[in-house]
Amino acid sequence: MLCGRLRELCLEGGLFSDVLFQLDDGTCAVHRPLLMARCDVMHAMFSGDFRESNAKVITFPGVKQRTFQVLLQYLYTDNIPTIKIRECLPIIELGNRLCLPRLISLVENEIIDLFQRIIQAGGDVSEDCIYLLEPLQMHNADQLVEWCLTCMATNYNHVCHKLSKQLRSLHPENQAYLNRHRWPPVCVGVD
């Protein structure tokens, strides 16, 4: 109930907002106290000797409105909306930038659930796993990284036949992991 009202009045309605974030593709009105209460980085930014502490408009480069809206929904309501697979990278990157491990974990769980639904419906997520793997590693999304590696190793022959070029472009450590954990395993000659 409370989360719904916060989302409705403050997030969607902008009621009593006191600062604007200038993003790559627009602006978002927000509430300083709420951001400070939920994010230590924002608390430091608004209460320290930073220029943002008194600014009415804060430039936030490298962030698009959709990504920022997901961040705000998390900060205001402690949950995230439904997101698409390829939307997760900028959200995880922003969560890492703002030191918000719970946001990263929520996004990881959302994507893993989405992957599992796709697989249960007979779909293939191999291409998405390869696409996401190394960027996720850079942004501390360890749970989703492990899931992607396991999925690719479990379906190694399929991935190798369908996406061999992309597989060869992975970092050597990732290639080695997949080779060590591949299924079915490579049989070594028995004497």
Q: Which two tokens stand for residue 13?
A: 């309605």
Token pair in block for residue 172: 């050597």
State the pLDDT at residue 10. 57
With a cut of 70, say whether residue 37 has pLDDT above it.
yes
Q: What is the pLDDT of residue 51?
A: 82
Q: Tell me the per-residue pLDDT of 127-156, one tens digit each, with 9 for 90 and over.
A: 999 999 999 999 999 999 999 999 999 999
pLDDT recorded at residue 174: 96
Q: Which amino acid is at 3?
A: C
Report the distance separating Cα 148 and Cα 49, nearest Å.
Answer: 42
Domain 1-81 fold: Potassium Channel Kv1.1; Chain A (3.30.710)
DSSP three-state, residue 107: helix
Q: Which amino acid is at 122?
A: G
In the predicted model, is pLDDT for residue 188 greater than 70? no
Going from N- to C-terminal start, the domains of the chain cover: 1-81, 84-184
DSSP 24: T
How far, in Å, CA of 132 to CA of 89, rounded?
A: 7
Tell me the mean pLDDT in the region 13-34: 86
Q: How confident is the model at residue 53 (pLDDT cuts 50, 70, 90)?
A: confident
- Threshold 0.85, pTM exceeds: yes
Distance CA 167, CA 62 (A): 29
| Percent residues over pLDDT 90 in the chain | 78
CB 102 within 8 A of CB 62: no
Q: What is the pLDDT of residue 4?
A: 64
Tokens of 72: 């705000």
Give the model's pLDDT for residue 121: 97
pLDDT of residue 134: 97
Is 51 exposed, middle or buried, given 0-12, 13-18 or 19+ CB atoms closer than 10 A?
Answer: exposed
pLDDT tens digit string along 58-107? 999 999 999 999 999 999 999 999 999 999 999 999 999 999 999 999 99
